[in-house]
């Protein structure tokens, strides 16, 4: 499989994992998947494999910019126009749904909790979304809790 930029498929994830380890701040709010894994937010063939690697990396980075960058990236892979690749990504990410609820309930970081909440919303995990709303509202920004948020 080659990347959308025609380099070998693994180049983008190699770069991401390297930055995650050495310079995670450079990844936050950076659209590192665009042009490689996503094209104008449309998922490319590599997206489900990338989702798996990001999920596998989550337990290794429990806080800070690396955690934020991982959650942000997973949010991009959690929704979108409903095609086969989106469904495949969601299938991978939903297996770790408890991780996102834990992120919210921990109160470690509002940014982390926000990404986790939006991932649960994108996955249509309605029960857990309402649990987060009712039990862990203190750890979430008020704009996410507005009824018309989505
Ligand atoms: Zn590429």
Write the pLDDT tens digit of every residue in 90-107. Answer: 999 999 999 999 999 999
* Within a domain: 139: yes
| pLDDT of amino acid 124 | 93
Residue 69 Cα to ligand 1 middle (Å): 18
| pLDDT of amino acid 82 | 62
| pLDDT of amino acid 85 | 95
Residue 3 Cα to ligand 1 middle (Å): 5
* Within a domain: 150: no
Count of structural domains within the chain: 1
Residue 14 Cα to ligand 1 middle (Å): 11
* Within a domain: 2: no
For the four alpha carbons of 101, 142, 25 and 16, in that order, the dihedral sign comes to: positive
* Within a domain: 137: yes
pTM confidence score: 0.94
* Within a domain: 94: yes
Question: Which phi-psi region, left, alpha or beta, contains residue 83 (left: φ > 0; alpha: ψ -120 to 50)?
Answer: beta
Helix intervals (H) in the chain: 11-22, 47-57, 64-76, 84-94, 97-106, 110-122, 126-135, 142-145
* Within a domain: 107: yes
pLDDT tens readout for residues 48-65:
999 999 999 999 999 899
| DSSP designation for 37 | T
Q: Which residue stretches of the chain have pLDDT < 50?
A: none
Question: In terms of residue numbers, what domain contains 23?
Answer: 10-145
């Amino acid at each position: 499989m080659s990347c959308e930029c025609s380099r070998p498929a693994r180049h983008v994830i190699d770069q991401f994992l390297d930055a995650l380890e050495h310079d995670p701040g450079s990844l936050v709010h950076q659209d590192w998947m665009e042009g490689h894994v996503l094209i104008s937010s449309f998922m490319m063939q590599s997206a489900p494999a990338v989702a798996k690697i990001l999920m596998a990396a989550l337990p290794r980075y429990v806080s800070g910019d690396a955690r934020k960058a991982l959650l942000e990236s997973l949010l991009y892979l959690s929704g979108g126009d409903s095609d086969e690749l989106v469904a495949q990504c969601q299938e991978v990410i939903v297996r770790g749904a408890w991780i996102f609820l834990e992120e919210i309930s921990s109160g470690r970081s509002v940014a982390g909790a926000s990404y986790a909440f939006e991932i649960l919303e994108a996955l249509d995990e309605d029960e857990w979304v309402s649990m987060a709303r009712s039990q862990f509202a203190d750890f979430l920004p008020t704009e996410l809790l507005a009824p018309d948020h989505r």
